[in-house]
Protein backbone atom coordinates (compact mmCIF):
# COMPACT_ATOMS: atom_id res chain seq x y z
CA UNK A 1 0.00 0.00 0.00
CA UNK A 2 1.30 3.42 -0.89
CA UNK A 3 1.49 5.94 1.94
CA UNK A 4 -0.67 8.45 0.05
CA UNK A 5 -3.67 6.16 -0.43
CA UNK A 6 -6.87 7.24 1.28
CA UNK A 7 -8.02 4.84 3.99
CA UNK A 8 -11.02 6.79 5.26
CA UNK A 9 -12.97 9.83 4.08
CA UNK A 10 -15.60 11.63 6.16
CA UNK A 11 -17.53 14.84 5.56
CA UNK A 12 -19.91 16.71 7.82
CA UNK A 13 -21.43 20.13 8.38
CA UNK A 14 -21.96 22.03 11.60
CA UNK A 15 -23.31 25.46 12.47
CA UNK A 16 -21.05 27.30 14.89
CA UNK A 17 -21.90 29.72 17.67
CA UNK A 18 -21.83 32.62 15.17
CA UNK A 19 -24.42 31.04 12.88
CA UNK A 20 -21.90 30.17 10.17
CA UNK A 21 -22.04 26.78 8.50
CA UNK A 22 -18.71 24.98 8.61
CA UNK A 23 -17.96 22.11 6.27
CA UNK A 24 -15.46 19.57 7.61
CA UNK A 25 -13.68 17.01 5.46
CA UNK A 26 -11.47 14.39 7.12
CA UNK A 27 -9.17 12.18 5.11
CA UNK A 28 -7.15 9.45 6.77
CA UNK A 29 -4.03 8.34 4.99
CA UNK A 30 -1.80 5.54 6.17
CA UNK A 31 0.62 7.97 7.80
CA UNK A 32 -1.52 11.03 8.70
CA UNK A 33 -4.90 12.69 9.08
CA UNK A 34 -5.70 15.62 6.79
CA UNK A 35 -8.62 17.90 7.71
CA UNK A 36 -10.01 20.70 5.56
CA UNK A 37 -12.58 23.12 6.98
CA UNK A 38 -14.56 25.74 5.06
CA UNK A 39 -16.93 28.59 5.71
CA UNK A 40 -18.77 29.57 2.53
CA UNK A 41 -21.79 31.79 2.95
CA UNK A 42 -24.27 31.85 0.08
CA UNK A 43 -25.98 34.99 1.36
CA UNK A 44 -24.75 38.32 2.74
CA UNK A 45 -22.52 38.90 4.54
CA UNK A 46 -20.52 36.72 2.15
CA UNK A 47 -17.66 34.79 3.69
CA UNK A 48 -15.25 32.38 2.06
CA UNK A 49 -12.53 30.89 4.27
CA UNK A 50 -10.61 27.60 4.09
CA UNK A 51 -8.03 26.09 6.42
CA UNK A 52 -6.13 22.81 6.63
CA UNK A 53 -4.85 20.85 9.61
CA UNK A 54 -2.59 17.81 9.54
CA UNK A 55 -1.64 15.44 12.33
CA UNK A 56 0.27 12.19 12.19
CA UNK A 57 -1.80 10.33 14.79
CA UNK A 58 -5.15 11.98 15.54
CA UNK A 59 -8.03 13.26 13.43
CA UNK A 60 -9.21 15.27 16.44
CA UNK A 61 -5.86 17.10 16.64
CA UNK A 62 -5.87 17.68 12.89
CA UNK A 63 -9.40 19.09 13.09
CA UNK A 64 -8.46 21.34 16.01
CA UNK A 65 -5.47 22.73 14.08
CA UNK A 66 -7.66 23.41 11.06
CA UNK A 67 -10.43 25.06 13.09
CA UNK A 68 -7.99 27.35 14.92
CA UNK A 69 -6.59 28.49 11.56
CA UNK A 70 -10.13 28.96 10.20
CA UNK A 71 -11.27 30.99 13.20
CA UNK A 72 -8.12 33.13 12.91
CA UNK A 73 -9.16 34.03 9.36
CA UNK A 74 -12.91 34.36 9.86
CA UNK A 75 -12.97 35.96 13.32
CA UNK A 76 -9.68 37.83 13.80
CA UNK A 77 -11.20 39.92 16.59
CA UNK A 78 -11.22 36.82 18.80
CA UNK A 79 -7.44 36.60 18.65
CA UNK A 80 -6.56 40.23 19.37
CA UNK A 81 -5.00 40.85 22.78
Q: What is the mean pLDDT of each run of 10 residues along the chain (81 residues)?
A: 78 92 96 96 86 97 97 90 64
Rounded Cα distance between 47 and 32, Å, is: 29
pTM of the model: 0.86
Task: Assess contact for 52 and 35: CB atoms under 8 A.
Answer: yes
pLDDT at 3: 55
Rounded Cα distance between 29 and 59, Å, is: 11
Residues 6+ apart with CB under 8 A from 24: 10, 11, 12, 13, 14, 35, 36, 37, 63, 66
pLDDT at 81: 64
Amino acid sequence: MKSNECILWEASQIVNEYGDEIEIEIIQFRNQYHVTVNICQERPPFKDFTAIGIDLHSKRKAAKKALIKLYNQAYPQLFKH
